[in-house]
A and B are shown apart, each in its own frame.
Chain A
Amino acid sequence: MNTDELFIKQLELSGNEIQNKLKILNSLSDINYSDGYKRKVKSQRKYLLLTASVAIVLTLVLSTIVYAFVNLVFGDMNFDKGLKKADEAGQTTSLNLSTKDKNITLNVKGIISDNLRTVILVSVSGELPPVEDEDDEDFGPANLESMNLRDENGNEYQYKGASGGYFSNDPNKDMRLEFEGIKNHDVDSLTLYIASINGITGVWEINIPIKVIPSHEFYPNIVYEENGVTFAIDKIVFAATDTELTCRYGPGHFMGFTKVILSNSIDSVKSNSWSADNNAGAVEIHFPTFPMDRDITLTIVVNDKEQTTFSVDIPASTFKK
């Protein structure tokens, strides 16, 4: 199936879904086909709809406020759909912890941890000098040094990256620190240690309670071969914040994916990222959270211009083993 066909197929699926899920109001279910009745119904309906619209808008506004301030720990996370989904599902933990040194307070506001990643939401307040090189913010946290995360057994979790820019004096400006996931579900506390913030040396050490969300790991051993190219799916992890596929390819170099899609009969998601190791002939592909309750198809576009696409089916039975 080429990319055009794939796009049209997805469009058809979404079109059916949109039609099926469209809400039909009673006014369209109960039409009397005489003109006089129609006019009467229409004028009554307008008042009813006006009242209903006001109620709907009020409900939406109120629910948005409640949703934003009560439910979501990590806030607007449209760019990280896996984390957003976990947050919406109530799997994140809201925290109000802080530690102070050199008149700088480190606040820990929330956390989530599963097999694939641990994300901690932090902010800083106090007498904070500006960061020296603001251009480094994309690579953040350029202003945090000697940072580490350990569990109660002394195991250290590798730092993977941060998002949300650099620290400023604004306690409302949050930064998300991301570390590798925790495979031992018995871990119930972590210690975050930071030795320097914006060039100020100190000790910011804080103990964070954690409940690791169990993930599901499967080893499907699915091998796809076409035109001398072999692609094997060795492992799939369904975690609260991400879905990860570990694959092998060969022979030769990484094929250079253009687009990777995971789909089932009702939905599809695009890959967030992939990383290849040419020496090992391996590639890890990350997707937002995806359900494992039905057959899944992995579709990979290798070269968009030449429209080289291949699809690998992963039957639902794989996830019952």
Chain B
Amino acid sequence: MIDLVESSKTENSNSYDILFQSCRKSLFLTALVMLENRLDAEDAVQDTAIIAYSSISTLKNNEYFKTWITRILINRCKRIRVTRSRNKTIELTEETLWAEPLTNHAIEVWEAVNKLGKDDKILITLRFFNDLSISEIAAVLKAPIGTMKSKLHRAIKKLRKIMGEEEIR
């Protein structure tokens, strides 16, 4: 990935294309969870792709590409959330989101994540849908690692409660 970032900086749009394709799914998921609307999420990802392409030369450390582009996306989503005219839709639970049917547990997880508050939802999405480490999440959200750790712990606990995992069955 580091090589791809480097060659993208030299205006090689093919390299950037490959680089972006490697993370578009996780970006799209994050945008979906944040915006709860497929059209807005696609706009956010498309905008992010263009912003990142035009400013990749400013990225100082190539290793941080994933956290850097995730941060761009989150800022973009926040902006869309403020300015958008579209209403939220219920399409997030539709099967049209998935190329293949999800397993029962994955459906439970997806539905439970979407019931979380917006901060918890982002943390869970970045950690479990985007595979970011705690320190990467801390970098994306510009917060101390310790704070992120305890917030993530609390978010997992809430998710577990929503999924009924703490109840005796």
Is chain B found bound to chain A in the same assembly? Answer: yes
> A residues engaging B (CB < 8 A)?
3, 7-8, 10-19, 21-25, 27-29, 31, 33, 35, 38, 42, 45-46, 49, 56, 60, 81, 258-259, 266-271, 304
Interface-facing stretch out of B64-72, B74-82, B91-99: B91-99
How many B residues face the partner with a CB closer than 8 A? 47
CA distance A15 to B125 in the complex (A): 8
Taking CB atoms, residues of chain A closer than 8 Å to B43 are 42
Assess the B29–A18 pair: CB atoms within 8 A. yes
Assess the A42–B98 pair: CB atoms within 8 A. no
Assess the B169–A259 pair: CB atoms within 8 A. yes
B149: CB under 8 A from chain A?
A: no
Query: Quick one: given A31-B50, A33-B53, are A19 and B104 in contact (CB under 8 Å)?
Result: no
Interface centre among A27, A28, A29, A270 (most CB of B within 10 A): A28
Interface digits, B109-134 against A, CB 8 Å rule (1 contact, 0 not)?
A: 11000000000000010011111000
CA distance A27 to B105 in the complex (A): 29
Assess the A19–B26 pair: CB atoms within 8 A. yes
Q: Which residue of B lies closest to A263 (CB)?
A: B105
Assess the B98–A11 pair: CB atoms within 8 A. no
CA distance A17 to B107 in the complex (A): 10
CA distance A10 to B94 in the complex (A): 22
Assess the A24–B28 pair: CB atoms within 8 A. yes
> In the complex, how many angstroms separate the beta carbon of A24 from the nearest chain B beta carbon?
6
Taking CB atoms, residues of chain B closer than 8 Å to A45 are 42
A42: which of B46, B106, B156, B159 is its contact (CB, 8 Å)? Answer: B46
Question: What 9 pairs between A and B have smallest CB-CB spacing?
Answer: A15-B128, A14-B109, A267-B103, A14-B106, A33-B53, A23-B99, A17-B106, A21-B98, A15-B129
Q: Which residue of B lies closest to A35 (CB)?
A: B50
Taking CB atoms, residues of chain A closer than 8 Å to B105 are 10, 13-14, 267-269
Assess the B53–A23 pair: CB atoms within 8 A. no
Taking CB atoms, residues of chain B closer than 8 Å to A267 are 103-105
Chain A, interface SS category: helix
Taking CB atoms, residues of chain B closer than 8 Å to A15 are 109, 127-129, 131
CA distance A266 to B45 in the complex (A): 28
> B residues engaging A (CB < 8 A)?
13, 16, 20-21, 24-26, 28-29, 39, 42-43, 45-46, 49-50, 53-54, 94-106, 108-110, 124, 127-131, 156, 159-160, 165-166, 168-169
Known: A18-B109, A28-B46. 8 other contacts (CB 8 A): A13-B105, A22-B29, A23-B96, A23-B97, A24-B25, A24-B28, A35-B50, A304-B166
> In the complex, how many angstroms separate the beta carbon of B104 from the nearest chain A beta carbon?
7
Assess the A56–B96 pair: CB atoms within 8 A. yes
Assess the B128–A46 pair: CB atoms within 8 A. no
Taking CB atoms, residues of chain B closer than 8 Å to A29 are 21, 24
B45: which of A17, A18, A28, A49 is its contact (CB, 8 Å)? Answer: A28
A22: which of B49, B54, B95, B99 is its contact (CB, 8 Å)? Answer: B99
Assess the A22–B25 pair: CB atoms within 8 A. yes
Assess the A17–B13 pair: CB atoms within 8 A. no
> In the complex, how many angstroms separate the beta carbon of B101 from the nearest chain A beta carbon?
8
Taking CB atoms, residues of chain A closer than 8 Å to B169 are 258-259, 270-271
> In the complex, how many angstroms separate the beta carbon of B80 from the nearest chain A beta carbon?
13
Q: Which residue of A lies closest to B95 (CB)?
A: A60
Assess the A21–B104 pair: CB atoms within 8 A. no
B94: which of A24, A60, A81 is its contact (CB, 8 Å)? Answer: A60
CA distance A171 to B126 in the complex (A): 51
Taking CB atoms, residues of chain B closer than 8 Å to A56 are 94, 96
Assess the A21–B99 pair: CB atoms within 8 A. yes
Assess the B102–A81 pair: CB atoms within 8 A. no
Query: Quick one: given A14-B106, A21-B99, A24-B28, are A304 and B50 in contact (CB under 8 Å)?
Result: no
A304: which of B49, B94, B168 is its contact (CB, 8 Å)? Answer: B168
Interface centre among A25, A33, A42, A60 (most CB of B within 10 A): A33
Query: Quick one: given A22-B99, A56-B96, A270-B169, are A38 and B50 in contact (CB under 8 Å)?
Result: yes
